Amino acid sequence: MAAHLQKHGVLAKISERVRFARRRFGHYEVIDFLAVLFGYAISGERTLEAFYERLLPFAAPFMALFDRDQLPSRSALSRFLAAVTEAPVGALRTLFIDDLLNRPISHEKQTGA
């Protein structure tokens, strides 16, 4: 997934376009938290806690997939999720919709609304 997003420039666009007025997130960027959430979403783990426990031994290589060097701490992720607003979520949604429209899944002409 990370390679696909990187190949198509989506990771760079996320870093450029998705902004978050943050308070105490240290040196973490939005992409750091999204990397964790993407990984969790496809992991099959029932909880973020279980995902973190399984991820910790592989944290550095996992984050390197996203061109990042450090896994956000659990507390930083918790603060991020508590503070996230509609603006960065909307920017991320727009980015993914634009990407989908610019690179359709199928090259067949689609009909309907």
Residue 31 to residue 70: CA distance in whole angstroms: 11
pLDDT at 36: 94
Residue 85 to residue 90: CA distance in whole angstroms: 9
Distances (CA, A) of 79 to 12, 24, 31, 67: 24, 8, 15, 22
Residue 60 to residue 99: CA distance in whole angstroms: 28
The tens-digit pLDDT sequence of the chain (113 residues) is 777 777 877 777 777 777 666 555 667 888 888 899 999 999 999 999 999 999 999 999 999 998 889 999 998 899 888 888 888 788 888 888 888 787 766 666 666 55
Q: Please report, for the chain, the start and end positions of each structural domain, with discontinuous segments joined by +.
A: 2-86
- Whether pTM > 0.95 for this model: the answer is no
